[in-house]
């Protein structure tokens, strides 16, 4: 990657020496995978850092969603949002369930709880909202709807490490929360993810599903698969975890600086974030039109700056993989939203340069 190019993100990485130090233990033990000591340590440290009851770390965030569906033994329709990464929907489909799209709130960009009930049928088994860009969904209204209709709730919490609701980690909500520890996330294991639950029996089941459905005697007692995280990846997570608070604090500062720099531009909109609860993991900006977005994107690209169109297009329009269901709000916002570069090593001057280009158009 060229030094002067600015991408939408960059992984937050601990100093290499600290990672290597942890890896020495892996080499000494010769245990590379199968619920090794570093995987167990990472789960313990994340549970304690985020005050979670149970976390099962897995090989990626997509598998985490699939495992959540499998663990809850869901078969039927799952109401979800079209304003997401395709993984939310492919995970539902891979588990032989049917995604039903509920439109989003134009301000929070999360699923619109007021539109969920109209989509419930006798085939509905669960609701799968996404905490978009780490901004908490309306977890209370969603829990009330689920309870009323006897539905499960799985949060796609891929972006939500570091977000909270009423002082608790946002990962504690829903029957299961599925998070991502991908390279582009606030805390990363290169590839990785996790399932979080407050239910001990469900956690034990998730751990069996992750490991081919084995019980402690290696008898196959579940319909499992391979969702294991390796020791090499867990080592990276443990090294990076030391810097997690710094990364979180830095994101917030940079997010606020962007807002300060862009506040005076007319015709742009920002996600309505829950201050003090979001993790500020992305900086989305919503333009008045797609035409304006394309103009800005082109100007930034010309200066070697590469923002990303998260999430475009709206997933309900991917008609090669899903049946089209109209979601006008998501379809409209998807065309007008751009995520600006946001990562630990991004310089103040680079943020200023980006905003200067945007305001000049």
Question: Mind telling me the catalytic residues?
Answer: 185
- Choosing from 7, 19, 243, 270, the residue that interacts with ligand T4K (CB under 6 A) is 7
- Choosing from 52, 71, 74, 87, the residue that interacts with ligand T4K (CB under 6 A) is 87
Q: How far apart are CA 227 and CA 205, in angstroms?
A: 13
Peptide bond into 245 cis (omega under 30): no
Least distance from ligand T4K to the Cβ atom of residue 80, Å: 10
Residue 9 binds ligand T4K, judged by CB under 6 A: yes
Query: What are residue 196's DSSP bridge partners?
Result: 55, 177
Nearest 5 degrees, angle CA 106-CA 97-CA 278?
Answer: 35
* Binders in 126-155 for ligand T4K, by CB under 6 A: 130
Least distance from ligand T4K to the Cβ atom of residue 219, Å: 30
Coil vs helix vs strand at 104 = strand
- Choosing from 162, 174, 193, 224, the residue that interacts with ligand T4K (CB under 6 A) is 193
103: left (phi over 0), alpha (psi -120 to 50) or beta: beta
- Choosing from 14, 54, 67, 85, the residue that interacts with ligand T4K (CB under 6 A) is 85
Among residues 325, 310, 305, 298, the alpha carbon closest in space to that of 133 is found at: 310
Select 130 or 268, whichever has its Cβ closest to ligand T4K.
130
Q: How far is CA 259 from the centre of its chain?
A: 22
Residue 61 binds ligand T4K, judged by CB under 6 A: yes
51: left (phi over 0), alpha (psi -120 to 50) or beta: left
Q: How far apart are CA 217 and CA 227, in angstroms?
A: 19
Residue 237 binds ligand T4K, judged by CB under 6 A: no
- Choosing from 10, 33, 98, 317, the residue that interacts with ligand T4K (CB under 6 A) is 10
- Choosing from 11, 76, 106, 213, the residue that interacts with ligand T4K (CB under 6 A) is 11
Residue 8 binds ligand T4K, judged by CB under 6 A: yes
Residue 174 binds ligand T4K, judged by CB under 6 A: no
Q: How far apart are CA 60 and CA 65, in angstroms?
A: 9
Q: Which residues bind ligand T4K (CB under 6 A)?
A: 7-11, 60-62, 84-85, 87-88, 130, 156, 158, 180, 182-184, 193, 306, 308, 310
């Amino acid at each position: 990657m060229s030094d002067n190019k600015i991408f939408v993100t960059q992984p937050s990485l601990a100093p290499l020496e600290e990672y290597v130090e942890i890896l020495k233990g892996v080499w000494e033990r010769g245990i590379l995978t199968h619920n090794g000591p570093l995987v167990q340590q990472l789960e313990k440290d994340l549970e304690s850092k985020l005050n979670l009851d149970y976390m099962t770390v897995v090989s990626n965030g997509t598998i985490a969603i699939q495992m959540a569906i499998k663990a809850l033994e869901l078969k039927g329709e799952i109401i979800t949002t079209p304003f997401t990464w395709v993984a939310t929907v492919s995970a539902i489909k891979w588990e032989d369930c049917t995604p039903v799209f509920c439109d989003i709130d134009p301000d929070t960009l999360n699923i619109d709880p007021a539109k969920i009930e109209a989509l419930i049928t006798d085939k509905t088994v669960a609701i799968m909202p996404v905490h978009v860009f780490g901004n908490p969904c309306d977890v209370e209204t969603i829990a009330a709807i689920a309870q009323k209709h006897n539905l499960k709730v799985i949060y796609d919490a891929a972006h939500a490490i570091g977000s909270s609701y009423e002082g608790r980690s946002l990962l504690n909500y829903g029957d299961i929360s599925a998070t991502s520890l991908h390279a582009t996330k606030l805390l990363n294991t290169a590839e990785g993810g996790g399932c979080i639950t407050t239910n001990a029996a469900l956690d034990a089941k998730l751990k069996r599903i992750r490991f081919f459905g084995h019980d402690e005697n290696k008898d196959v007692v579940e319909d499992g698969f391979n969702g294991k995280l390796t020791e090499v990846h867990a080592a990276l997570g443990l090294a990076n975890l030391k810097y997690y608070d710094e990364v979180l604090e830095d994101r917030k500062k940079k997010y606020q600086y962007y807002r300060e720099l862009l506040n005076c531009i007319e015709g742009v909109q920002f996600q309505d974030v829950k201050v003090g609860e979001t993790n500020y993991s992305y900086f989305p900006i919503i333009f008045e039109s797609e035409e304006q977005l394309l103009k800005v994107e082109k100007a930034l690209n010309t200066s070697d700056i590469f923002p990303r169109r998260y999430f475009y297009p709206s997933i309900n329009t991917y008609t090669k993989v899903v049946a089209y269901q109209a979601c006008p709000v998501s379809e409209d916002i998807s065309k007008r939203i751009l995520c600006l570069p946001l990562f630990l090593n991004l310089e103040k001057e680079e943020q200023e340069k980006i905003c200067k280009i945007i305001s000049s158009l």
